[in-house]
């Protein structure tokens, strides 16, 4: 009995310290979350549709006020990571660039977090946020 309790306590301690990151097993439901971020006058906005399966669909547009801008995506679920696609480049004075990305992580809970990063023409990330089924948070 002591061994079982010690093992349970050790597992709880490791999880509390973030040493163990398992896939999310929470009940998933269809949710559509709006996102938006800017860098100077360059902007992107749209929606992320988290399905009740393994996928999330990101749809939006990117606008460049100076230089060129594009949006790249990533998805996570615990230690599972997916480097997703990027939009076409939007150029200052040009049309907004629409994009749609399908992201899929085939583990229980599917896509739990989507990261969106705005890049400049030099390849530097200039704005970043992540979104979950509960909302979006600006990283930089």
Which pLDDT tens digit goes with each residue over 60-117? 999 999 999 999 999 999 999 999 999 999 999 999 999 999 999 999 999 999 999 9
At residue 41, the pLDDT reads 97
CA–CA distance, 65 with 52 (Å, rounded to integer): 37
- The structure tokens 């040493």 sit at 19
Q: What is the pLDDT of residue 60?
A: 98
Q: What is the pLDDT of residues 65-77, one digit of tens each?
A: 999 999 999 999 9
Q: CA angle, corner 31, sides to 87 and 26, nearest 5?
A: 110
Q: Residues of the chain with pLDDT > 70: what percent? A: 80
What CA–CA distance (Å, rounded) separates 57 from 44?
16
Strands (E), 15-120: 31-39, 42-50, 55-63, 68-77, 80-86, 90-91, 97-104, 113-120
Q: What is the pTM of this model?
A: 0.81
User: Domains in the chain, ordered, with CATH?
Assistant: 23-138 (2.60.40)
At 119, is the secondary structure helix, strand, or coil? strand
Q: Tell me which residue has tokens 């709880």.
A: 12
* pLDDT at residue number 29: 84
């Amino acid at each position: 009995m002591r061994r079982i309790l010690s093992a349970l306590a050790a597992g709880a301690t490791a999880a509390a310290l973030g040493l163990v990151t398992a896939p999310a097993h929470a009940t998933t439901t269809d949710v559509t979350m709006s996102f938006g971020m800017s860098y100077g006058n360059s902007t992107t906005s749209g929606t992320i549709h988290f399905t009740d399966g393994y996928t999330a669909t990101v749809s939006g547009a990117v606008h460049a006020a100076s230089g060129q801008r594009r949006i790249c995506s990533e998805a996570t679920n615990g230690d599972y990571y997916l480097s997703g696609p990027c939009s076409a480049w939007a150029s200052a004075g040009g049309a907004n660039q629409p994009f749609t990305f399908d992201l899929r992580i085939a583990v229980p809970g599917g896509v739990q977090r989507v990261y969106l990063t705005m890049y400049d023409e030099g390849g530097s990330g200039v704005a970043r946020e992540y979104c979950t089924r509960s909302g979006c948070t600006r990283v930089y």
